[in-house]
Amino acid sequence: MNTKSVFGIILTLIGLAGLIYAGIDFTKGGIAQASFVYLILGGIFFFAGISLIRSTKA
């Protein structure tokens, strides 16, 4: 595998974990600022990983 695609998969998984954690924090009624930080960082990591995966040729 290409190192860019491996890094893209890692970023996607980290972003997905951040998005899931933000969703759980929202449903539990956690602090809104912390939830937004997890949501924004998770989204950035997730979409950066997806774009890395899409840009590498198989």
Q: What is the pLDDT of residues 10-55, one digit of tens each?
A: 999 999 999 999 888 888 887 777 788 889 999 999 999 999 988 8
Tally of domains within the chain: 1
Question: Residue 24 belongs to what H/E stretch?
Answer: helix 3-28
Q: Is 80 exceeded by the pLDDT of residue 58?
A: no
CB 52 within 8 A of CB 13: no
Judge whether residue 5 has pLDDT over 80. Answer: yes
Q: Please state, as a whole number, how many other Cβ atoms lie within 10 Å of the Cβ of residue 45.
A: 20
Give residue 43's pLDDT: 94
Instruction: Give residue 29's domain range.
Output: 3-55
